[in-house]
A and B are shown apart, each in its own frame.
Chain A
Amino acid sequence: MVNSVVYKDTDLVLSVESVSKSFDGFKAINDLNFYLGEGELRTIIGPNGAGKSTFMDLITGRTRPDEGTVTFHQDDGHDLDLTKLREYQINRLGISRKFQTPSVYQDHSVYDNIVLSLNHGRGVWQSLLYKESAADKEAIEEVLETVRLQDLCNERAGLLSHGQKQWLEIGMLLAQKPRILLVDEPAAGMSDEETERTGELLLSLEGKHSIMVIEHDMEFIRQIARKVTVLHQGHVLKEGKFLEVANDPTVKEVYLGRQKHD
């Protein structure tokens, strides 16, 4: 890798190019091309089995593609191929992921959940010697405020409601100060009011982070949608503004149409 500073000549933060991945002959991802801009809020939709979660797995290093490249455009202008890195290394670059089912540390307090999500002191030795600084405390409290859990900071995370757990996990991602946020079905299992507040939260993050949201709930997508990408059979079927996509006949056929038949 070149050591001199290369000025970034792209507005993109992530480029996924001609990526394919099959599992036992089933093509989960098929020649996928996808570009995410700096500070963009992108929504990804698609019927079940369209490869949405596999797509996130490929970006975060959970699975490796059979072919193609996943390139992360760093701030300093250097590009990195993510397909060679392990999950924790990718995360340390500033790519955070929220899982579909809320995964928080049940036995720890809400506060400690955020402590564990700070983006430093993550090696074995550093964690042994870690001492909470005033700056850390401030950062943690700021995150708790953003996700409105400051009153519950000493509560055991396992005792939170489903919606609160979802928020806690979003808070955990924010504590990592990520450049890219991958959010898998944030509104699943939430009440209407909680869903709306989650939408507001995501919209408020737009511009500060590049965000990819996978979602099923059409009402929610309407609320947050800027640019929408439709995946179908592991391939990008259509990309565009929400209404454009929603009114596209092919999209209707594979996705919205199928919903009507149900």
Chain B
Amino acid sequence: MNNRLLPFDTIGEKIALAVLAIFVVIFPLMNTLFPADSALHITTFQLSVWGKYLCYAVLAISLNFLWGYTGLLCLGQCLFFALGGYAFGMYLMLMIGDLGAYGTSLPDFMVFLGYSELPVHWKPFYNPWFAVFAAMWVPGLVAFVFGMLAFRSRIKGVYFSILTQALTYAAALLFFRNDFTFGGNNGFTDFKFIFGHDIREASVSRALFWASGFLLIGVYYLIAYLLKSKFGLVQRAIRDSENRVRFSGYSTTHYKVFIFVVSAMIAGLAGALYVPQAGIINPSEMWPTKGLDIVVWVAVGGRGSKFGPIIGAVLINLLKSYTTRVYPESWLIILGLVFLLVVLFMPNGVVGLWDQVKAWIQSRKADPPATVEPQLAVENES
């Protein structure tokens, strides 16, 4: 715990982080510095695709904070992401103004459903900063209420997981309803302006990419900092032996609620940045399968490691974008296969692979005549 402002463990981690930072800074520049016919040019479309991956990486980090470091497997992390997305989407909807299909100041779906004026809870969302703030506190509040109820009554393990899945399912059904004032199953789309700029401008895409990248680095830093503090020690202690922590004078309920809320707020921010880059948000984002996707990213990348979730989120989504283009029918089968292989053969995920290989080489060096022992055992038995 000597240098708390640089909470990094190894040289490798620092290098990886530097590479990530350089990528975040350079990538959008390649969109503007190189002409469109250059091999180094990055199109605005590619920019928004990678911007979304960065948001997914933040989302994966938020789940890893819960699952990898605290042992709370949340299957409803997509709910917090979607709530953040909806909060910022409300602002984007209001910015369409009278450019919608019906030419009124109300969002199209409201006109379609016969609203005569904007519902009260929509009004503050004219302010973008209110929307960004709401993208944090709405998921945070949901996590707080749910966490209080669940953790106070000592719900844990698989029961907690199932309840979080039920929660996101229930929320999705609620958002599917037209009378819930959030656009029913169509959700929000056709955004026009963001912070006074046309959302299709290349400069907006670059800014959104940078924002996502800096969010990722900031969240990474926050988690690294927390892990190094006594708080992080308590967090992992809860994962390994909650009773011991409780009987050492800690209210594990307070800790778990706090962690759940922080995790939900991070996921919400990721969702808020995701929506303008994806151009759409609808209730399918909180469907239980989306929650499972995030679990797969974290497991593949490496649960309980700081870089694992980032790598997992990007890798799986790259694979998905490739596969759904080339073998659109087989994507789910391939995803299942990858997940199965990782669970069976790479318990520490992609980032744990190097250590696994090292351990394997060492074990080969250590006892080459491994074949002798089983034979002896057989002899002894008879």
- Residues of A near any B CB (own CB < 8 A): 60, 86-88, 91-92, 96-97, 99, 103-108, 112, 115-117, 119, 121-124, 127-128, 130, 132, 169, 172, 176
Contacts and interface: CB of A to CB of B under 8 A. Distances in A.
Given A116-B234, A176-B248, A106 B254 contact: no
A97 B249 CA distance: 11
B230 A106 contact: no
Contacts of B241: 103-106
A132 B241 CA distance: 23
Contacts of A124: 231, 254-255, 258
A117 B230 contact: no
Contacts of A112: 233
Given A116-B233, A127-B231, A132-B1, A91 B240 contact: no
A47 B135 CA distance: 58
A229 to B, nearest CB: 22
Contacts of A117: 248
Contacts of B255: 124
B212 to A, nearest CB: 26
Given A60-B247, A87-B247, A105-B241, 8 more contacts: A88-B248, A88-B252, A96-B248, A103-B243, A116-B234, A119-B249, A121-B230, A123-B251
B236 interface: yes
Interface of B: 1, 226, 229-231, 233-234, 236-237, 239-241, 243-252, 254-255, 258
A104 B237 CA distance: 9
Given A88-B251, A117-B248, A122-B248, A99 B243 contact: yes
B250 to A, nearest CB: 5
A116 B237 contact: yes
A143 to B, nearest CB: 13
A187 B231 CA distance: 32
B306 to A, nearest CB: 15
B147 to A, nearest CB: 13
Contact of B254 (A87, A103, A121, A123): A123
Contact of B230 (A91, A99, A127, A169): A127
B244 A105 contact: yes
Closest 9 CB pairs of A and B: A130-B230, A91-B249, A127-B231, A103-B244, A127-B230, A105-B237, A92-B249, A128-B231, A88-B251
Contacts of A96: 247-248
Given A124-B258, A132-B1, A108 B233 contact: yes
14 contacts: A88-B250, A91-B248, A96-B247, A99-B243, A103-B243, A107-B240, A116-B233, A117-B248, A121-B230, A130-B229, A132-B1, A172-B248, A176-B248, A176-B249
Nearest to B257: A124
Contacts of B239: 107
Contacts of A128: 226, 229-231
A123 B251 CA distance: 7
Contact of B236 (A87, A105, A122): A105
A104 B244 contact: yes
B227 to A, nearest CB: 12
A127 B234 contact: yes
A97 B241 CA distance: 14
B151 to A, nearest CB: 13
A19 B61 CA distance: 48
Nearest to A126: B230
Nearest to A169: B244
A20 B13 CA distance: 56
Nearest to A175: B248
Contacts of A169: 244
Nearest to B256: A124
Contacts of B230: 115-116, 121, 127-128, 130
A119 B247 CA distance: 11
